[in-house]
Each structure stands twice: as structure tokens, then as C-alpha cells.
């Protein structure tokens, strides 16, 4: 039985590519034969609708089969897992009720580690190679929960002038999480929506590479409209259009992520 590795995709900057990266890395891992569980931690439900149409997403929400019920009622997450329809790739969906999650967590005992407890049985079973959690663009008690439940965090950063804004807050937040969960590690920064024709992109890349103690993944994701066409069809681009530029880039990034995890887990 192998260890289940939990990775959070987090950045308080909105629109930085967290959901797109989580969705495509999850699917690329499954295509590589891994067993993967994704968790949609955002009330916007973008990871949910990356795999299901609105009708199915609302049906799951109405039946309470969402991360909101798991956390609010402190349930074992196993009973809330549904298949994405892609082999080896499962998901726990979200609902708009996640808008009240900070309030729901507030009165709980040891409220930073509720999600970690909800994941305990699934992790102990060791069926999944990876659990990937898509975080909302906030830094509060719920994202603290997501990071305390994770072994690693990947920070997707948009290669734009505002993309780097707030990154310092993100690192400060990681330090706060480490006080409760010292084993959490920043696996790296994944650059998204890169446009190599722009001079600004090169400057962003240089600025990020100058950061101490933080890895920037070599494989970055360029702007590609195939991502939006795939999302319009409720499928990740690595499944929807396997030979598109972004699909190839996401597959390469996924390999790099898995190699880095393997190296760290061996140490």
C-alpha cells in the first residue's frame, strides 16, 4: 500500500489558474495510471463544472453530496466521492453553501484540522495515489483547513503585472499554516497564462526565479484558447484536446510535479 499524497492548489490572487491547473494535473495523473481524488473547495464550483454540466452539479448539491456537508457535519469523505467518468479520477464536488463555510467552522473544536480529520480514513486506505484540493482565492480558516490537510501546496501564478501582487501574503500564510502543520511544504510555483511574446513575461519569470527557497516549475502553461473550449464542454483540456499546446504543457508539468513529489517522499 502506497502513501496517498495530498496537494493543495492555492493562491489568494483570483483567476491565477488554480482550478484549471488542479483539473488538468488531476486528469493527466489519471491518464498516467494513477488513482486520483480531486476536492472542489470553492463556492464558485469551478472544479465541479469542469467535469459536470450545471444540472448534474445542482443535483449533487441538492442531495448534499458535497464538501460542504463533509465539513459542516464532520463526515468521513468516502461517502461523498463521485466518479468524473474518467478512469482513475474521482471528485468531491462543491456547492454555493460553501459561502458560509467560515461561519460553519467558527464554533468547531480544533477548527483548523476538520478537513484533515475528514480525510483520515481515505488516506489510511491508501487507494488513492494523490488527493488534489482546489482552494478558493481567500486566506482564512477554510484555506487554513485545506493546507493543514495537505502535504504540499502548489501556487499557480498568472504571468501578468497583477499576478505577483499578494504573493508575499501567500508565503506569510504558508508560514502560519506551518505553525499548526509543520510538515506542509511549498512544492513550487506553477506559471500559468504565459505569453512569451510579451517582454513582461520574461520579467515575471526572472522575478519569480529570484525568490529564495521556492521552486518555480520549469514547465509553464502558455495562454491557449483550447483551455476555454475544453471548459465549455466540461472537460479538462488534457482529455478534450490531447494534442493542443496547453494539454502537452499540462502533461509535462504533471510529470515534473510527480517527479518532485517522488524525490521528496524518498528523502
Ligand X SMILES: Nc1ncnc2c1ncn2[C@@H]1O[C@H](COP(=O)(O)OP(=O)(O)OP(=O)(O)O)[C@@H](O)[C@H]1O
Binding site for Mg ion (CB under 5 A): 18-19, 46
- Of the chain, the end-to-end C-alpha distance in Å amounts to 18
What is the nearest approach in angstroms of ligand X to the Cβ of residue 247? 11
**Hey, what's the cell of 75?**
463526515
Contact with ligand X (CB under 6 A): which of 10, 25, 28, 42? 42
Contact with ligand X (CB under 6 A): which of 31, 94, 204, 246? 246
What is the nearest approach in angstroms of ligand X to the Cβ of residue 55? 21
The span from the CA of 31 to the CA of 4, in Å, is 17
Question: Which residue do the cell numbers 506559471 mark?
Answer: 191
Contact between 15 and ligand X per CB under 6 A: yes
Enumerate residues 6+ apart whose C-beta is below 8 A from 217: 188, 189, 190, 191, 253, 256, 257
Among ligand X, Mg ion, none, residue 193 binds (CB under 5-8 Å by kind):
ligand X
Report the site for ligand X in 185-244 (rule: CB under 6 A).
192-193, 221, 223-224, 227-228, 231
At 193, is the secondary structure helix, strand, or coil?
Answer: coil
Stretch that binds ligand X, among 38-46, 123-131, 144-152, 198-206 (CB under 6 A): 38-46
The span from the CA of 265 to the CA of 184, in Å, is 13
CA 36 to mean position of chain CA atoms: 12
Q: Please state the φ and ψ torsions of residue 220, each to the nearest 5 degrees.
A: -110, 165
C-beta separation of 258 from 187 below 8 A? no
Would you say 18 or 241 has its CB closer to ligand X? 18
Contact between 92 and ligand X per CB under 6 A: no
What is the nearest approach in angstroms of ligand X to the Cβ of residue 181? 22
185 DSSP 8-state letter: E
Contact with ligand X (CB under 6 A): which of 5, 8, 17, 34? 17
What is the nearest approach in angstroms of ligand X to the Cβ of residue 194? 8
What is the nearest approach in angstroms of ligand X to the Cβ of residue 169? 14
What is the nearest approach in angstroms of ligand X to the Cβ of residue 108? 24
The span from the CA of 15 to the CA of 35, in Å, is 27
The span from the CA of 79 to the CA of 39, in Å, is 13
Report the site for ligand X in 127-146 (rule: CB under 6 A).
136-137
Q: Which residues bind ligand X (CB under 6 A)?
A: 14-20, 42, 44, 46, 136-137, 192-193, 221, 223-224, 227-228, 231, 246
Amino acid at each position: 500500500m502506497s502513501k496517498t499524497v495530498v496537494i493543495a492548489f492555492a493562491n489568494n490572487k483570483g483567476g491565477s489558474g488554480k482550478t484549471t491547473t488542479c483539473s488538468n494535473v488531476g486528469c493527466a495523473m489519471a491518464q498516467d495510471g494513477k488513482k486520483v481524488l480531486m476536492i472542489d473547495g470553492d463556492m464558485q464550483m469551478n472544479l465541479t463544472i469542469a467535469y459536470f454540466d450545471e444540472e448534474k452539479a445542482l443535483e449533487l448539491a441538492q442531495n448534499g453530496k458535497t464538501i460542504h456537508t463533509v465539513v459542516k457535519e464532520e463526515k468521513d469523505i468516502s461517502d461523498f466521492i463521485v466518479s468524473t467518468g474518467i478512469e482513475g479520477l474521482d471528485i468531491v464536488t462543491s456547492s454555493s453553501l460553501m459561502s458560509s463555510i467560515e461561519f460553519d467552522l467558527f464554533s468547531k473544536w480544533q477548527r483548523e484540522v476538520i478537513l484533515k480529520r475528514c480525510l483520515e480514513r481515505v488516506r489510511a486506505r491508501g487507494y488513492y495515489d494523490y488527493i488534489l484540493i482546489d482552494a478558493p482565492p481567500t486566506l482564512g480558516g477554510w484555506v487554513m483547513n485545506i493546507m493543514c490537510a495537505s502535504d504540499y501546496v502548489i501556487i499557480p501564478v498568472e504571468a501578468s503585472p497583477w499576478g505577483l501582487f499578494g504573493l508575499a501574503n501567500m508565503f506569510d500564510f504558508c508560514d502560519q499554516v506551518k505553525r499548526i502543520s509543520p510538515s506542509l511544504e511549498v512544492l513550487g510555483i506553477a506559471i500559468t497564462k504565459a505569453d512569451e511574446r510579451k517582454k513582461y513575461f520574461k520579467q515575471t519569470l526572472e522575478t519569480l526565479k529570484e525568490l529564495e527557497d521556492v521552486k518555480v516549475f520549469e514547465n509553464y502553461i502558455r495562454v491557449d484558447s483550447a483551455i476555454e473550449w475544453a471548459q465549455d464542454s466540461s472537460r479538462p483540456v488534457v482529455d478534450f484536446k490531447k494534442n493542443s499546446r496547453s494539454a502537452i504543457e499540462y502533461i509535462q508539468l504533471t510529470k515534473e510535479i510527480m517527479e518532485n513529489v517522488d524525490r521528496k517522499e524518498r528523502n
